[in-house]
């Protein structure tokens, strides 16, 4: 078995996994699309009551099983029932996410280069640059997609200790420094107060059932839940580690980065009187246009911002790779080299197909029921698969794991009251909340 994480290594790796494009790219634009403050409040509630509860659950499963995500549920269940192979579904969901995650990181590399060579100065130029990239520049996207997958392979081959832990020891502090600098600058802008108001003053009229489901899905996506990552990382955690304290710390770091990113981005947007509802193109259209209007200083800010986005994306991408690699190693008794290349090969091919689904030449044949393959991959994973995974995990720990064993394991880290609250959430609140959301969704459809 690969060498495990040190305590700080696990926290940095789990934080690196959680802090990614979901925080800096997706959270701001989803918040903008759903009206700001009210969505943020629902998101924070989802993190506290559902996200953190499931994070602790997955940490426990991994730490107790000491095995890959697919086998972990079976090992922890009361009867060691072989039917509990739910983790295999989680691994597959994570691989699908990584398939499109990789080429989005490729977009970021393209925009770092653009920041050096010349940012757009008109909305037409900004929209054209992004639209041209995703619809026409297939070769450019595949090239950067190849670079990203190759980087993941290089780090993945080094394993948990020498690859993932060392990567996060370098990139996570750099990410923190860049975000802190951007936050300090945003505080000097007149629009900072408006950004704070937009982020934290709720307008409940803008909330729909889809907004609530999006908030829960975002909580799962940004905390890397339902993908097998936390289970896999926790299996490499030292036996005496406080998995509950680590979970709380990671959730705080992850949520803080999302909120800080939102404040920074909306401060920039409102400073230029730009729309907050720009959707996925917010980071790739609106912000480059704003930076372009600031001259040389704007280029410096743009480079710093996109480097932060790149660092966050790479740490999460490597994390998404590891669960399937470990599964293949343990299930089929193959080497890390073979497991890494098999997983990376699937990701590479699926990513290319997904990026082609947005192109002019292949978009039509790769569009189904009004959504491109990329849109379907994003929707089915973040809004459907991840919450369902949380539902199954909560049912599993609430009803198929001995409560007394859970209580004993938790007692060395937290008091009985905290355990009872967590157990009530995992057994009743989380599954009921997720089920009601999906029933509401079905009724709307």
- pLDDT tens digits for 322-351? 899 999 999 899 999 999 999 999 999 999
Looking at the domain assignment, is residue 381 inside a domain? yes
Which residues, at least 6 apart from 165, have a Cβ–Cβ distance to it below 8 Å? Answer: 5, 6, 9, 12, 13
d(CA 236, CA 12): 13
1 vs 425, higher pLDDT: 425
Task: Calculate what percentage of the chain has a pLDDT beyond 70.
Answer: 91
Tell me the mean pLDDT in the region 97-125: 93
Looking at the domain assignment, is residue 1 inside a domain? no
Q: How confident is the model at residue 77 (pLDDT cuts 50, 70, 90)?
A: confident
pLDDT > 80? residue 437: no
Q: How confident is the model at residue 154 (pLDDT cuts 50, 70, 90)?
A: very high
Res 206: pLDDT: 85
The structure tokens 């490729």 sit at 106
Res 427: pLDDT: 95
Interhelix angle for 52-65 vs 69-76, to 10°? 80
Res 395: pLDDT: 92
Q: How confident is the model at residue 355 (pLDDT cuts 50, 70, 90)?
A: very high
pLDDT > 70? residue 85: no
Looking at the domain assignment, is residue 262 inside a domain? yes
Q: What is the residue-averaged pLDDT of the chain?
A: 87
Handedness of CA 272, 276, 277, 279 (dihedral sign): positive
Looking at the domain assignment, is residue 349 inside a domain? yes
Res 306: pLDDT: 93
Looking at the domain assignment, is residue 75 inside a domain? yes
Res 1: pLDDT: 43
pLDDT > 90? residue 12: no
Res 21: pLDDT: 77
85 vs 322, higher pLDDT: 322
Res 277: pLDDT: 62
Res 23: pLDDT: 86
- Contact present, 328 and 341 (Cβ < 8 Å): no
Residue range of the domain that includes 105: 7-444
Looking at the domain assignment, is residue 2 inside a domain? no
Burial string for 259-297 (b: 16+ CB within 10 Å, else e) reads: bbbbbbbbbbbbbeebebebebbbbbbbbbbbbbebeee
159 vs 54, higher pLDDT: 54
Distances (CA, A) of 108 to 132, 141, 144: 15, 10, 9
pLDDT > 60? residue 445: no
Tell me the mean pLDDT in the region 270-297: 82
Tell me the mean pLDDT in the region 20-29: 83
- Domain count for the chain: 1
pLDDT > 90? residue 42: yes
Res 79: pLDDT: 64
pLDDT > 70? residue 10: no
pLDDT > 90? residue 362: yes
Q: How confident is the model at residue 4 (pLDDT cuts 50, 70, 90)?
A: low
Residue 406 region by backbone torsions, left for phi larger than 0, else alpha for psi between -120 and 50, else beta: alpha
pLDDT > 90? residue 282: no
Looking at the domain assignment, is residue 124 inside a domain? yes
pLDDT tens digits along 48-60: 999 999 999 999 9
CATH number at residue 161: 1.10.4160
- Look up residue 386 and give its two tokens: 């991840």
d(CA 426, CA 23): 25
Handedness of CA 8, 13, 17, 19 (dihedral sign): positive
pLDDT > 80? residue 314: yes
Where is average pLDDT lowest: 104-113, 198-207, 337-346? 198-207
Tell me the mean pLDDT in the region 9-38: 80
Looking at the domain assignment, is residue 100 inside a domain? yes
Q: How confident is the model at residue 431 (pLDDT cuts 50, 70, 90)?
A: very high
pLDDT tens digits along 171-188: 888 888 999 999 999 999
């Amino acid at each position: 078995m690969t060498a495990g994480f040190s305590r700080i290594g696990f926290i940095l790796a789990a934080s690196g996994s959680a802090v990614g494009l979901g925080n800096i790219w997706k959270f701001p634009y989803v918040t903008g699309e759903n009206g700001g403050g009210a969505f943020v409040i629902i998101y924070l509630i989802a993190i506290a009551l559902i996200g953190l509860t499931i994070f602790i659950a997955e940490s426990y499963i991994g730490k107790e099983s000491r095995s890959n995500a697919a086998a972990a549920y079976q090992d922890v269940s009361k009867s060691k029932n072989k039917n509990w192979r739910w983790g295999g579904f989680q691994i597959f969901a994570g691989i699908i996410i990584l398939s499109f995650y990789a080429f989005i990181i490729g977009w970021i590399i393209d925009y770092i280069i653009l920041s050096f060579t010349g940012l757009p100065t008109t909305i037409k130029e900004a929209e054209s640059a992004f639209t041209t990239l995703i619809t026409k520049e297939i070769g450019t996207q595949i090239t950067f997609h190849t670079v990203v997958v190759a980087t993941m392979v290089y780090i993945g081959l080094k394993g948990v200790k020498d690859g993932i832990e060392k990567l996060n020891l370098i990139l996570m502090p750099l990410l923190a420094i860049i975000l802190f600098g951007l936050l300090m600058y945003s505080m000097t802008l007149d629009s900072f107060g408006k950004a704070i108001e937009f982020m934290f003053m709720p307008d409940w009229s803008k909330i729909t059932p889809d907004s609530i489901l999006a908030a829960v899905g975002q909580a799962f996506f940004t905390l890397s839940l339902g993908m097998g990552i936390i289970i896999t990382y926790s299996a490499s955690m030292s036996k005496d580690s406080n998995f509950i304290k680590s979970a709380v710390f990671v959730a705080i770091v992850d949520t803080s980065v999302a909120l800080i990113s939102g404040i920074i981005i909306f401060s920039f947007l409102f400073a230029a009187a730009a729309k907050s509802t720009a959707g996925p193109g917010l980071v790739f259209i609106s912000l480059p246009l704003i930076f372009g209007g600031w001259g040389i200083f704007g280029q410096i800010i743009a480079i710093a911002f996109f480097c932060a986005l790149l660092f966050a994306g790479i740490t999460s991408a490597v994390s998404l790779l590891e669960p399937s690699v470990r599964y293949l190693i343990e299930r089929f008794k193959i080497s890390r080299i073979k497991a890494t290349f098999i997983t990376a090969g699937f990701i590479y091919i699926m990513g290319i197909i997904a990026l082609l689904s947005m192109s002019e030449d292949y978009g039509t044949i790769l569009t189904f029921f009004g959504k491109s393959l990329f849109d379907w991959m994003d929707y089915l994973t973040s809004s459907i698969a991840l919450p369902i995974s949380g539902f199954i995990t909560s049912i599993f720990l609430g009803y198929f794991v001995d409560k007394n064993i859970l209580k004993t394991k938790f007692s060395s880290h937290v008091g009985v009251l905290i355990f009872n609250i967590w157990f009530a959430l995992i057994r009743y609140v989380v599954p009921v909340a997720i089920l009601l959301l999906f029933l509401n969704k079905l009724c709307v459809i």
